[in-house]
Amino acid sequence: MKSERISSIPGLFISALRGGSGKTILTIGITAALRSLGKRVAPFKKGPDYIDAGWLSLAAGNPCYNLDTYLIDHDTVVSSYLTNSAKLGADIAIVEGNRGLFDGIDIDGKTSTAETAKLLQAPVILVLDCTKSTRTMAAAVLGCLHFDPDLQIGGVILNRIAGPRHKNNLINNIEYHTGVQVMGAVPKLRSHDFPERHMGLVPTPEHDWAFDSVRNAERIIREHVDLPRIIALSETAVPFERDCRVPTDLGAINPESPVIGVIRDASFQFYYPENLEALEAAGAQVVEISPLRDRRLPEVLDGLYIGGGFPETHARELAENVTFRESILAKVKEGMPLYAECGGLIYMGEELEVDGLVYPMTGLFPLAFSVSKRPQGHGYVVADVTGDNPFFERGTQLKGHEFRYSKITRWDRKEKDAAFTMARGTGMADKADGITQYNALATYTHIHALGTPSWAPSFVSKALQYKTR
């Protein structure tokens, strides 16, 4: 690591009054449209989201990093914003907010998009769902302006407009009563162009038409939004600079480095880029593998990381690849470290039930799962490390989040099995989470490497021990 003085770049936040206002689709379109103008965009997602971040990454042609003031302390959030913008050589940073602009975890709005926008001294564009509404939208914008005068709301984009008369009525009322510029007015879109899965857009790796959807979003923005105004607003972000710690050898290949495999495909795609980069910064080589493509684990692996995703959509293929599942079990029994989150936890269980059919999984842990139509765990969590495990010391407190529709239908549990006790959140069962065996740990809790800095060095250390055993 070395310390560098890094300056901020033009940037802005795109937020809304509530979730479901169409903010993600418009942010994707704005990002793609700026890129088509020759702008190098650094995309960010505020909050612990994987799916929106994947779409923003596709639109920008760059990794999308997560800014979350619950999982990560404020100084590290600022450092991440600066260092990743600089690393990408970006001209502009676009941050998509989550939920409503002021929605946080307490009465003071901690962890809200507004808090993060003020932390990074960037203006906000507010996306308004104008369905069956006209002058009331002006009142809503005026309320936001007065609710937090320290926040710079620099413009609004009208969404789901019914027609020209609706549009003109809204523009006249909002600009007259609030003084805030209307930067675009987008008509109602066809839902099949941007289908949804669970709590967000369909994960981009699942469909070849994702590029067409991004191009469609770009076209909508070009036709209905004033891009020069958006660029000009981003340049009003208050410039600042900080001393930031920057890895000096990220991505360097060392033949003595342990090799950590990451299962990444349409069934397992929920990874923060910061987590993978943290493994590399700690000295590992990271390689991607897939039970949908590969017949077994590569012999060179010294560790395995399985993130979340939707294994239920590929349960048959996962079950049929017996040789891959057997190769995982063989390596873990030899002592290879394995870390699995959510979907990875399911894959490490014995079976998964989907629509009445039961599919065998890897069988490392005595667990059976089924998939529900309603969320079974969703939101921020706090896990106290109370049991022995390969990666975290007892007494450590982990901040993370849950994002799942699956539930455990059978757990042949012994008291020593649980590594975590949930101080906040659901966990696997009875406020317990984290099941461990050999050098493997699987959990429903998603963590972020910047908020849990001990995770990557511990993982790489275990992988090095296995490599040199």
- Which residue do the tokens 């795109």 mark? 14
Q: 352 CB contacts (<8 Å, ≥6 apart)?
A: 311, 312, 315, 346, 358, 359, 361, 368, 369, 370, 371, 406
In 250-365, the DSSP E strands lie at 259-263, 268-270, 285-289, 303-306, 308-309, 338-341, 351-354, 357-360
Active site residue 342: yes
- The 10 Å CB-count burial string (b at 16+, else e) for 403-425 is bbbbbbeebebeeebbbbbbebb
CB-based burial of residue 209 (10 Å sphere; 0-12 exposed, 13-18 middle, 19+ buried)? middle
Tokens read off for 351 = 């079976």
- Which residue do the tokens 């939004």 mark? 225
Which 8-state DSSP code applies to residue 225? B
Cβ distance 261 to 303 under 8 Å? yes
Residue 7 CB neighbours (<10 A) = 11
CA 401/CA 49 separation, integer angstroms:
10
Handedness of CA 285, 210, 85, 15 (dihedral sign): negative
Cβ distance 456 to 305 under 8 Å? no
- Which member of 64, 144, 244, 342 is catalytic? 342
Handedness of CA 411, 417, 418, 419 (dihedral sign): negative
User: In Å, what is the CA distance from 96 to each residue of 9, 47, 210?
Assistant: 16, 9, 19
Residue 119 CB neighbours (<10 A) = 15
Radius of gyration of the chain (CA): 23
Cβ distance 76 to 245 under 8 Å? no
CB-based burial of residue 234 (10 Å sphere; 0-12 exposed, 13-18 middle, 19+ buried)? buried
Q: With DSSP H G I counted as helix, E B as strand and the rest as coil, what are the percentages for the chain, rounded to 5?
A: 35, 30, 40
Cβ distance 370 to 311 under 8 Å? no
Active site residues: 342
